[in-house]
Each structure stands twice: as C-alpha cells, then as structure tokens.
Amino acid sequence: MNALPKTAFIDPTGHNRAEIEALLQQAVALVLAEMTQAVARSPLPEALHSEQFEQWAQIPERSVEAAALLEVVRSHLQHSMNAAHPGYMGHMDSIPTTMSVVGDLLVAALNNNMLSVEMSPVFSRLEPLVMQQLAAQFGLGVAAGGVMVSGGSLANLQALIVARNAHFDALKTGIVGLDRQPVFFVSEVAHTSMQKAAMVMGLGAESAIAIRTNANSQLEISDLHEKFGQAHRAGQAPFALVATAGTTVTGNIDPIAAMAEFAQAHSLWFHVDAAYGGALIFSPEHRHHLAGIEQADSITFNPQKWLYITKTCATVLFKDFDVLNRHFRIAAPYMADDSQWPNLGELTVQGTRHPDILKLWLSLQHLGKAGYADIIRHNYAIATQFAKAVTARPDLKLASAPQMNLVCFRLQPQHIPPEQWDDLNAQLQRHLLTAASSIFLSLPLYRRQRWLKAVLLNPYSSSETISQLFESLDLFIQKNL
C-alpha cells in the first residue's frame, strides 16, 4: 500500500504514533490560531470566488500532504460563518462549548454507530439515560424518555409520525385506506419543518393547518377553536396540536397550558416544538415561560441551539417512551437483541447515527445546570438592554414583545414611504456588518416585511457590544434619514 500516506489511519499497534501526534498538533494549532482570534474576522466573511471551490473540489491522483491540506482548511475557516464572534447575532447558531468540540473529536476517532447496542455499547446505554434526565427536567414523568436525532426537523417529523400512528393505528397498514384526511394544527409562524413533516408523511403540506397568531406571534386559542370546527365540518380527522416554545423569527412562546387543555379535551396528541426555548429548563428565573410543557405527549429540544452543543444535537422526548415500541419500532432481526437496552436504530428514522450523546453529556457535566443558568441570565440581560434601546428610538419598531433572547425589529421612519422600508433595513443590515461594530443581524421575511433579527446567544456579547451596535445604528440614521 505504497500510495497511502503514513498518517492515513491511526495504526492500532501504535507504529505511527509520532506522525499522528504531529498531525493532530498541527490541527490543534490551527484551531487555536483561528478560534482564539475569531473576533478579528467578520462575523460573516465575504464569500470566496467560485473558481477557488472548483479547484478545491478536484480529487487528486496522489496523496496531498496533510500540512498543505491544513493550510487550505485555514482558508476555509477564515471564510466560514463565524458564530464565535460576539457580533454574530443573525441566527440560532452559537459558539460551541469546548467540551462538545472535544466530544466530537473523540467519537470521530472511535467511530461507533448508534444503530445498535453492540455497535455502540457505551453510547447506546448513555443516551437513553440522559434523555430520561432531560425529560424529567421538562416534568414529563417517570415513564418518559427520548431519542437523539440529527436536527429539529427530524425530531418534529418523528413526533408527528408517532402521533399519527398512535391516533390511526397506522404502523402496519398506513393511512391510505382512511376515509377522512388526517390533519394537525400549528401556529402560522411555526417552523417550516411542520409542513415538511406533513409532506413527508404523505398527508400533504396543507394538512398542517395554520392557526392565526396575535401581535406577539402567539397562537390564538379562539382561532384554534374556529379551525378545529372547520376541519370537522370538512370531514377531516384532526390528530395533533403543536405548540412552539421559541418561534424561529421572534422567539415567542405559544400559550402552552391552554393548548394542552385543548388537546386533552379533543383527544389530540400534544407536541411542543421547544427546539430553541427548551433550554429554559435550566433557568430558575425564566423556566415559568414553559409552564404547561409537562403535559406534552412529545417535545422537540435542540441542544445544538441554546445549550451550545456542536451540530447536530437534537432530541425528541416522549411522555410515554414505550409509545415508540407500540407505534414506531421496526425491528432489525439482524441485530443482537438485548431486551434491557433498545437498539436505537429501530426507534428512529435514521439507522446509522453519529453518537451525539457524548458531546451533550460532556457539556452538561462540564457546565452543570448552574453554568447554563448563568449564561441564560446573561443572555436575558443583554436582550433586555437591546429591546430597551429599540423602544427608545422612535424610528424603530419591535416585531413582538421579546420573551427570550431574540429581538426582532425594523427601521420604519414615518417620513419615508413604507414601500422603501424593506430596502432601508437591508441597507442598515449591510451597514452594521461592515461598520466598525461588525454586527451580523439577519433579515427575515416576517408578516410579508423585512425585519432585522438578533439572537443574543453568544456569552461573549456584552453590554458594550450592544452599545456599539446602537451607536453604529444611530450613525446610519443620521447619515441616511
């Protein structure tokens, strides 16, 4: 095997240990050089020319030196989204915990598989236990548990599949023979993964019936009554109701307790998409926002967002974990069966799966509940300062009253025609990114208008960061209005 570089694999007998060590040290040096200077790069660097990518994409005939490759990767790092920058506020993407970076490296080296217990004997046991702990934090009760999946969309999909199968007893025979169209209810600002799930489940995207929201992006119970009645009159078969705890654009929270009551009264599965807001379980001051979530049949929670775990790291939790055995499990007869521990690949849409549990477990241990409570406290303080600065300026308008660390707002000066406001906000976005403040806010379309969205996640975003942002914003207003 002459063509193979000496460091192609870590020799299990240790013969290339020195070379591997040198390579890993170079990689660590690169990580340290770039990530300890992340503040020196833009939160959203300029894109590279496409010719550069064409060149990189070529598959070489012979081995390229590791050192040369790491130099190319340096350029990749320098031009990548820079969520570590305290001015990176555009999306629910965060600087990762150090332990989750370490955890990813360790599991990559082991290369176990969450498909079955024998392929990941440690992680397949650790995951269900940690999921039980998380479910307990949500108050789901003693029969609760969950599985990890690759992202919130898959978590929502799995919850809705289980809801549908349980309601229509559809695991074996499906839904084609039903004489009534299955539908479920979500708020009009719920994440698009709800429609995707409806489409993937063969129900069609319109089966996710949108319920009107109030001025603060929270589902209106009166419209839920109305749409539920309409669905019945139209001969449809409602099977689930979904609440969102932390909407994607404004971070608002549906009236969870009232929705739980409605779901119970109408025999609907109650799912809460707490992909973002679920982190509040670790905040003694703010967890009251989740009141009612303990009544959910299932919960989506993404530690890759507000718990700062490297992507991907998402969970779907069930009040009655055994529901997966009854209404989801497809047994893999080629796997050794250990009745005490399930083969997790039989309980998730994915088969082969990355052991995301290690980085989650490491981070929970390393930061502890108190560590997360501290960060969330800080995030709220910064968000409050931010929202106050918006309301203090007559030309700015909040999209909703913030309930978490998201602030969505726009510039809408009354002396400028409203049809110019979208462009004006796009200009302000560019100004904030390129000015000395180096702030990246995103520009979502919300209620058919462009808004500026700030997600105040980064523990290194300080009160000073926010003051600089508003100085820069004031300068823009002075120059342009």
Ligand X SMILES: Cc1ncc(COP(=O)(O)O)c(C=O)c1O
Binding site for ligand X (CB under 6 A): 92, 151-153, 156, 191, 193, 244, 246, 248, 273, 275-276, 302, 314
Contacts of 184 (CB under 8 A, 6+ apart): 160, 163, 194, 198, 207, 208, 209, 238, 239, 240, 241, 242, 268, 269
**Least separation in angstroms between CB 243 and ligand X:** 11
Q: How many Cα atoms occupy the beta-carbon half-sphere of 52 within 13 Å?
A: 8
Q: Which of 196, 119, 212, 171 lies closest to 326, judged by CA?
A: 171
3-state DSSP assignment of residue 398: strand
- Which residue lies nearer to ligand X by CB, 194 or 428? 194
Tokens of 138: 């949500």
**Least separation in angstroms between CB 452 and ligand X:** 17
- Which residue lies nearer to ligand X by CB, 273 or 297? 273
- Which residue lies nearer to ligand X by CB, 272 or 362? 272
Whose tokens are 């203090």? That residue is 392
CA distance 425 to 188: 24
**Least separation in angstroms between CB 149 and ligand X:** 9
DSSP 331-350: --TTS---TTS--GGGSSS-
Give, as one character, the DSSP assignment of residue 396.
E
**Least separation in angstroms between CB 86 and ligand X:** 21
**Least separation in angstroms between CB 194 and ligand X:** 8
- Which residue lies nearer to ligand X by CB, 158 or 437? 158
- Which residue lies nearer to ligand X by CB, 244 or 468? 244
CA distances from 41 to 27, 45, 78, 111, 136 (A): 19, 7, 7, 33, 41
**Least separation in angstroms between CB 67 and ligand X:** 35
- Which residue lies nearer to ligand X by CB, 237 or 456? 456
- Which residue lies nearer to ligand X by CB, 157 or 323? 157
**Least separation in angstroms between CB 190 and ligand X:** 7
- Which residue lies nearer to ligand X by CB, 191 or 354? 191
Q: Across-strand partners of 145?
A: 318
Task: Write phi, then psi, for 77 (nearest 5 degrees).
Answer: -60, -40
Task: Write phi, then psi, for 52 (nearest 5 degrees).
Answer: -60, -40
Tokens of 222: 């009166």
Tokens of 468: 């600089």
**Dihedral class, residue 292 (left if φ above 0, else alpha if ψ from -120 to 50, else beta):** left
- Which residue lies nearer to ligand X by CB, 243 or 424? 243
Buried b / exposed e across 66-77, counting CB within 10 Å, b at 16+?
Answer: beeeeeeeeeeb
**Least separation in angstroms between CB 49 and ligand X:** 28
**Least separation in angstroms between CB 300 and ligand X:** 6
Residue nearest to ligand X (CB): 152
